[in-house]
Amino acid sequence: MQNKNQTLPSKELLENSFLADLHIHSKYSRACSRSMEIPQIARIGKKKGLSLIGTGDFTHPAWFKELKTQLEFDPVSDLLIFKDLPEGPKFILTSEVSLIFSQGNKTNRRVHLVIIAPNFEVAEEINLYLSKLGSLTADGRPTFGISCKKLVLDLMKISEKILVIPAHAWTPWYSIFGAFSGFDSLEEAFEEATPYIYAIETGLSSDPEMNWRISKLDHIALISCSDAHSPAKLGREATAFFYPLTYENIYSSIKTGNLAFTVEFYPEEGKYHYDGHRSCKVCLSPKEAKALGFKCPKCGGKLTIGVLHRIEDLADRDETYRPSNKPLSIHLVPLIEILSEVFNLSPTSKTLTKLYEQYTSMADTEINLLLKLPEEDLFNLFPEKLTEAILRVRKGEVFVKPGYDGEYGVVKVFAAFEPEEPYLKQQTLFSF
């Protein structure tokens, strides 16, 4: 069992902060749910407990048009309000781009960057600039053949109030530090544009604790977002900012790293935490992958090197290092997964959806139930086993099985897994 012994945010910290999810996608992005539309996103986002949600995909002309008709600029916060749910979450213009380019010793760099724009006018200028570099209509997350440095320097000419944040910074295929196409530092990737990079998104497979091991990232804010492709995934990771809820405050909080806390997945649950080869069902720790010469012990193919491995390669501190001046990192398990385990129901079953609706309504929001409601209220309102599960999650007492090569990991509150022998012990050590 994992025991994170996590420190929970104080009542004061919870009262003085709001939850934001700054990286999501619309129905116009590849492999995204048709229900990623503003009314659904607003309604479900409210239920999750989000006060601010990124629009995603503002580069897509059809989505941009929808945003302009459905959202209204609020001059008090410089953020956007959904006209049909004015008391719901506010919106902030965000998008993600995929850059594919050559730099240094690698010809096939692939990096995803989140772009945040202060208003429709600036977003429009960004879209005009990007439309000259490639197609904006093919995908809500468009692809361009320019470097990170060029993109950032050009965007800063449009407005210095634009934020550029490397997305899921450690995933092997499409990220700034990824094993296959990434760089070893922000400076190597962004060169003269590095001073404009204030934050990275840690992604599902890594958490702030892992990133703290790299002293070069000490001055960089670590944010967490859902990268949701369907409404149910909204807020599965999120960042809590101190009030006020304004664009200026989001901008300066990211610039200075003054965040309240982040809501994290257990990084083991992410799809690229460990190394491995999915089609052979081979999951390996970084140590095991190294000992095997980065080759799949079943088929001899190349292993996909995960996030933990990359962090170990670049880290200059060990995994026990804990800085005193960083925002709290809170690990939670999505409520639907907890309910599925407690009531022994499939996460997609209708009964479970009903229970989810019922309990989140009783608690007002999912985040209230998972993090905020006092213990005695939980015992008074909810079934005992559910309360026990939530308290265990809050303490960080869970069982984890790491994800690898695109396969999600598993987190369980009660049931331990079949004890799995490390791969090397099973069969390979004696062959060396």
Contacts with Zn ion by CB under 5 A lie at 96, 227, 277, 280, 296, 298-299, 301
**Local structure of 390: helix, strand or coil:** helix
Phi–psi pair at 217, nearest 5 degrees: -100, 5
Residue 280 beta carbon to Zn ion: minimum distance, rounded to whole angstroms:
3
Residue 116 beta carbon to Zn ion: minimum distance, rounded to whole angstroms:
13
- Please name which of 47, 46, 52 lies closest in space to residue 18, comparing C-alpha atoms: 52
Retrieve residue 198's tokens.
Answer: 């204030």
Of the pair 20, 296, the CB lying nearest Zn ion is at 296
Residue 236 beta carbon to Zn ion: minimum distance, rounded to whole angstroms:
13
Residue 124 beta carbon to Zn ion: minimum distance, rounded to whole angstroms:
22
Of the pair 109, 277, the CB lying nearest Zn ion is at 277
- Please give the Cα distance from 151 to 113 (Å, whole number): 10
Of the pair 27, 394, the CB lying nearest Zn ion is at 27
- The maximal CA–CA distance of the chain, rounded, in angstroms, is 68
The residues near 119 (Cβ < 8 Å, ≥ 6 apart) are: 73, 78, 93, 247
Residue 239 beta carbon to Zn ion: minimum distance, rounded to whole angstroms:
15
Of the pair 78, 275, the CB lying nearest Zn ion is at 275
Burial label for 54, CB within 10 Å (0-12, 13-18, 19+), is buried
- Please give the Cα distance from 342 to 346 (Å, whole number): 11
Of the pair 204, 411, the CB lying nearest Zn ion is at 204
Alpha helices, H only, 225-333: 247-256, 286-291, 307-314
Residue 356 beta carbon to Zn ion: minimum distance, rounded to whole angstroms:
24
Residue 364 carries which side chain, given as an amino acid letter?
D
Residue 363 beta carbon to Zn ion: minimum distance, rounded to whole angstroms:
29
Is the Cβ–Cβ distance between 266 and 210 less than 8 Å? no
Residue 374 zone, left/alpha/beta (φ > 0; ψ -120 to 50; rest): beta
**Which letter does DSSP use for residue 193 in this model?**
G
